[in-house]
Structure 1
Amino acid sequence: MPNTKDTIITSFALFSLFFGAGNLILPPLLGFRSGNYWWLVALGFAMSAVLVPILGILAHAKLQGTIYDFGKKVSPNFSLIYSLLIYAISLSLPSPRTAAVTHEIAVQPFFNSSALLSSIVYFSLVFIFVINRSKLMDILGKFLTPTIILILVLIIFTSLFTLDFNFGATEITSPFSDGILEGYQTFDAIGAVVVGGVIIVSINLKSNASFKEKKTLVRNAGWLAGLSLFIIYSGLILTGALNYPNFELNITRIELLTGISKQSLGNNANIFLSILVSLACFTTAVGIVTGSSDFIKDRLPKYKNAYLLTAIMGCLLGIAIGQFNVAYIITVAFPALMFIYPITIILILLNVIPEKWASPLVFKAVVITTIIFSIPDFLGSLGNWAPKKEVFDWIPFSTYQLGWVLPAVAAFVVSNLSSEYLSSK
């Protein structure tokens, strides 16, 4: 059985791989806009940014392979296309966004340097960590994560003990569903299938533990990391809600986070916030580039430099996109998330449930249905290019941009009943 120390180090590593740019800047503004419905928003946010990602880690504990194993029951070709799409999105959006957030919060207030220079320095450091693959989990779990958690706890608890529990009127029409959709922007469900593979490879590099021991270690670490994420997210959302009287209504995500930090940490706020942002963003970028490199190395075992070349390409892409501002990257990311996130959630859930309810027929039916009914939500997120809202009104929950949910549930039930009928004949 894995010891407590290994479980804590692994859970800390998971926390740091999950907790990046979006996880830090999204919850406070969500709370700020939610008023006394902050708790309902927090529950919605936790559904897509905590529960689903941790279920993804449990699926990795069960499979102990790569992201490719998540979709094999649909078809090998689908699984390969899905895997490549996930890594392409991860390297193009959440990874560069970490550099953009770091520049805007941790670099720009102190140095009059360009975003391009920040991206070059940032991803050069990411590359150094990625090529030191065997030491990755210890560095994350033992050193970087405790620092991140300590600063977060300081900000949250100082706010809770110094502010009055007065909330403004909510600006959110659908608190629970808005919380779920904002959780998409953390990329954590996608992160689960990416960084879960990183954790599995890291454990394999460090030990010769049995399949059962690794499953127990990853499962326990996953739940502990999930609990930590839920506490931190709820604290940040509540902190944002309590600060409603203190800031202008049109404040940006980064301005609010910076303002809250100054109120909580005083004159040293910029230094603490810079350390927090830099570490939180950096660990996520390292996890994404490492996961992508691990995958390509696994798919191309005959090419000795596959890992190195993928790491170089991932960092170069990060430099190119990371020089754009955060708001622009978030806006560009949304349509891609509206399409790929539902598919990822479904694959995670199907890989967690018992095998008797997740036959290849069920996988095919549910995933294909989810893809079809994700298209309207994707089209609806294209802004000026979106079709008229009335076109998709007949789909349940389409007004909440969750039109895929009931069709996927129906496909799951019908395909399972069909499987039982066919097996009984």
Structure 2
Amino acid sequence: MKNPKKEILITGFALFSMFFGAGNLILPPFLGKNAADAWHWVTLGFFITAVFIPILGILAHARLQGTMYDFGKKVSPTFSLIYCLIVYSISVALPAPRTASVTHEMAIQPYFGTDSLLTSSIYFALVLVFVMNRSKILTLIGRFLTPLIIVILLSIIFIGIFSSNTISTPTIFDTPFVSGLLEGYQTFDAIGAVVIGGVLVISMNFNKNTSFQEKKELITKSGLIAGLGLLIIYAGLIFNGAIFSSTFAEKATRTEVLTGLSTQTLGNIGTTFLSVLVALACFTTAVGIITGTSDYFKGLFNNSKKAYTVTAVIGCILGVVMGQLDVHDIIVIALPALMFIYPITIVLILLNILPEKLATPTIFKAVVIVTFIFSIPDFLQFFVNKESLVGIQNMIPFSKDQLGWVLPALLTFGVTSLLSKKEA
């Protein structure tokens, strides 16, 4: 690398931008509005699932320097194949179209009154152009788009912080910390980490002169930069949502809260700034998702460029179709999918960040299987009468908070580690 510091900064900005999409914009202010005086507990929970674990995912990629397939192959090749197919299917079917839906609702429809089909079609046509020129993605996003996103966001946050508003409403959450944890699922950032991290590794492989150690250092440091940026922005937006909570209608939607916040901090011109911000933030995330999915299927078919192109086109077409749903509908559809795949993704990230001797294939298998089994009640609650699950939830610690898999996974890791040491 000719200029390591510059490369780290540009890559860190690009990572931040690919993480920071639709959910990252609309969720924190709404969370802050509902959290009100408990905003700090909500922020801590949100930080764990929307910043800490995703950045660990990037650090795991720095260690592995492979594809998302490598995240699950210690469980078994078949498991890893199925896991990858599920994650990529969810990614192109939900968070990618959600970026188009948010862009339409907040940046296009209020000004032009056009149909969502037209917005989605133009939007994903541009996404396809970027995806097909993927070797330039990091530079274009990191050097030009991200700085503009950050400037607009920081303007909203700091003007809000130094306003005369004070938090005057109580929280509506029974357990603010847990509410923050679960809302962090909706950012898709843990899933984004295993998808986008692969994009980063493959994009860097275009430079044949960069060694494994140089790439590891670059990915690690750029990941930390992206994580710091996400933490500052999330905390700022949640706090602003809290201090302006009394000014929003009780049933205000996520997009209405974000729009109201920008108007109250930047005035009428704030809505224009917000429109630019929404379009940029959503677009960069969609590019990252479609690129990552196309990379995977390209590798699955012996590095076939045709497979890459076909996947990109199919992903963009699916984005146009699903982009016709409004933001709320996509969030509702996403919940059961997230409750199914997020716990497994989290444990895979945590296990892959550990040294080899602490995360053997046996430990991988045991922890992932137990996590899957104990997360089933969280998934089933969307399809059966919740009262029928009460008995099971009463037997599993934290299950009522939709975190029933956490303690069993930790215990399994501890017991399996001890048994492995005795066998050795």
TM-score, structure 1 as length reference: 0.97
Name the SS for the 2:205 alignment partner. Answer: helix
Partner of 1:245: 246
- Cα deviation, residue 206, structure 1: 3.4
RMSD of aligned Cα (Å): 1.3
Q: Bigger CA drift: 150-159 or 2-11?
A: 2-11
Shift in CA distance, 220/302, structure 1 to aligned 2, threshold 3 Å: closer
- Cα deviation, residue 301, structure 1: 1.7
Name the SS for the 2:395 alignment partner. Answer: coil
1:258-407 alignment runs, 5 A limit: 258-301=259-302, 303-382=304-383, 387-407=388-408
Q: Bigger CA drift: 103-112 or 201-210?
A: 201-210
* Paired residues of 1:56 and 1:196 also in contact (CA < 8 A): yes
CA distance in 1: counterparts of 2:133 and 2:5, whole angstroms: 25
Name the SS for the 1:337 alignment partner. Answer: helix
CA distance in 2: counterparts of 1:23 and 1:211, whole angstroms: 31
* Paired residues of 2:165 and 2:244 also in contact (CA < 8 A): no
CA distance in 2: counterparts of 1:390 and 1:174, whole angstroms: 21
- Cα deviation, residue 302, structure 1: 5.8
Name the SS for the 2:75 alignment partner. Answer: coil
Partner of 1:75: 76
The one-letter code sitting in structure 1 at the alignment partner of 2:41 is L
* Paired residues of 2:165 and 2:243 also in contact (CA < 8 A): yes
* Paired residues of 2:102 and 2:278 also in contact (CA < 8 A): yes
Q: Bigger CA drift: 139-148 or 293-302?
A: 293-302
Percent of pairs identical after alignment?
A: 57
CA deviations 1:266-314 (Å, max 9, x no partner) are 1212210110000000000000000000111111126340110000000
Whether 1:102 aligns to 2:107 is no
- Cα deviation, residue 111, structure 1: 1.1
Partner of 2:118: 117
Shift in CA distance, 341/313, structure 1 to aligned 2, threshold 3 Å: same
The one-letter code sitting in structure 2 at the alignment partner of 1:225 is A
Shift in CA distance, 386/271, structure 1 to aligned 2, threshold 3 Å: farther
Name the SS for the 2:73 alignment partner. Answer: coil
* Paired residues of 2:12 and 2:142 also in contact (CA < 8 A): yes
CA distance in 2: counterparts of 1:157 and 1:344, whole angstroms: 34
- Cα deviation, residue 163, structure 1: 3.3
Point out where structure 1 has 5 or more consecutive residues left out of the alignment. Answer: none
Whether 1:39 aligns to 2:40 is yes
CA distance in 1: counterparts of 2:109 and 2:99, whole angstroms: 14
CA distance in 2: counterparts of 1:417 and 1:332, whole angstroms: 40
Whether 1:54 aligns to 2:49 is no
CA distance in 1: counterparts of 2:241 and 2:22, whole angstroms: 17
* Paired residues of 2:43 and 2:238 also in contact (CA < 8 A): yes
Which segments of structure 1 move beyond 6 Å, counting only runs of 4 or more?
Answer: none
The one-letter code sitting in structure 1 at the alignment partner of 2:298 is K
CA distance in 1: counterparts of 2:47 and 2:4, whole angstroms: 28
- Cα deviation, residue 162, structure 1: 1.3
- Cα deviation, residue 383, structure 1: 6.9
* Paired residues of 1:289 and 1:315 also in contact (CA < 8 A): yes
Whether 1:192 aligns to 2:193 is yes
- Cα deviation, residue 355, structure 1: 1.2
The one-letter code sitting in structure 1 at the alignment partner of 2:375 is S
Partner of 1:3: 4
The one-letter code sitting in structure 2 at the alignment partner of 1:164 is N
Equivalent residue pairs, number: 423
Partner of 2:236: 235
CA distance in 2: counterparts of 1:246 and 1:42, whole angstroms: 20
CA distance in 1: counterparts of 2:31 and 2:116, whole angstroms: 26
TM-score, structure 2 as length reference: 0.98
Name the SS for the 2:153 alignment partner. Answer: helix
- Cα deviation, residue 386, structure 1: 7.4
CA distance in 2: counterparts of 1:56 and 1:197, whole angstroms: 10
Partner of 2:129: 128
